[in-house]
């Protein structure tokens, strides 16, 4: 399925072709600071998304291996993206809330669950990885 989305002010818009409705949730402290709470994000291959308004996108290199981007006008977070070489290079991780239509999405995995604020849990059964298991999966610190 194709899905469209945009930032709060609409300066940055995008279309994702053949969206994979399975998304992941990251509870790491960096995502909490960036997103305000845990980050629920879709994995979007670079060649399946097209952007409009790219001149309004600002980037922050949040670690040696990844960047985070947002709209300069309204501050909406747009993506987390691995910049380092490797199997995850270039893939966009985009907050699900940017989509115009969020129906049918499936939360498939939570990572860094031991860093999640104890004030909330996400309902349902899925793979839940603590910090050690997350590091083993990605081979890096968040
Ligand atoms: Zn905006
Ligand atoms: Zn994170």
CA of 77 to the centre of ligand 1 (A): 9
- Tens-digit pLDDT profile for residues 7-34: 999 999 999 999 999 999 999 999 999 9
Share of the chain above pLDDT 70, in %: 98
Distance in angstroms (rounded) separating the CA atoms of residues 37 and 116: 9
For residue 88, the model assigns a pLDDT of 82
**Is pLDDT of 113 > 90?**
yes
Write down the pLDDT at residue 87: 81
Query: Residues 51-106: pLDDT tens digits?
Result: 999 999 999 999 998 999 999 999 999 999 999 888 888 999 999 999 999 999 99
- Residue 16: helix, strand or coil by DSSP? strand
So where are the chain's domains? 3-138
Question: Considering every ligand atom, which ligand is closest to the CA of 8?
Answer: 1
Closest ligand, as measured to the CA of 41: 2
Which ligand number lies closest to the CA of residue 52?
A: 1
Going from the Cα of 29 to the center of ligand 2, the distance in angstroms, rounded, reads 7
Model confidence band, residue 141 (pLDDT cutoffs 50, 70, 90): low
CATH of 3-138, one of 3.40.50.10540, 3.30.530.20, 2.170.150.70, 1.10.3720.10: 2.170.150.70
Which ligand gives the minimal distance to the CA of 77? Answer: 1
Helices within the chain (DSSP H only): 29-35, 131-138
Report the C-alpha gap between 109 and 74 in whole angstroms. Answer: 29
Q: Measured in angstroms, how far is the CA atom of residue 131 from the centroid of ligand 1?
A: 33
Dmax over Cα atoms in the chain, in whole Å? Answer: 40
Relative to beta strand 3-6, strand 39-44 is unpaired
- What is the rounded average pLDDT of the residues 119-140? 92
Which tokens hold the place of 66? 């990844």
C-alpha distances out from residue 90 to 32, 45, 127, Å: 22, 7, 24
| Per-residue pLDDT at 86 | 84
């Amino acid at each position: 399925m194709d899905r469209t989305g945009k930032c709060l002010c609409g300066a940055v818009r995008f279309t994702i072709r053949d969206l994979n409705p399975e998304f992941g949730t990251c509870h790491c402290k960096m995502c909490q600071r960036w997103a305000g709470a845990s980050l629920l994000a879709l994995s979007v291959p670079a060649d399946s998304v097209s952007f409009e308004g790219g001149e309004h996108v600002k980037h922050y290199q949040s670690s040696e291996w990844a960047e985070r981007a947002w709209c300069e006008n309204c501050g909406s977070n747009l993506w987390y993206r691995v910049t380092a070489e490797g199997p995850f290079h270039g893939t966009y991780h985009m907050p699900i809330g940017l989509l115009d239509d969020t129906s049918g999405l499936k939360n498939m995995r939570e990572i860094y669950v031991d860093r999640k604020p104890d004030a909330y849990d996400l309902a349902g059964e899925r793979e839940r990885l603590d910090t050690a298991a997350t590091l083993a999966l990605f081979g890096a610190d968040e």
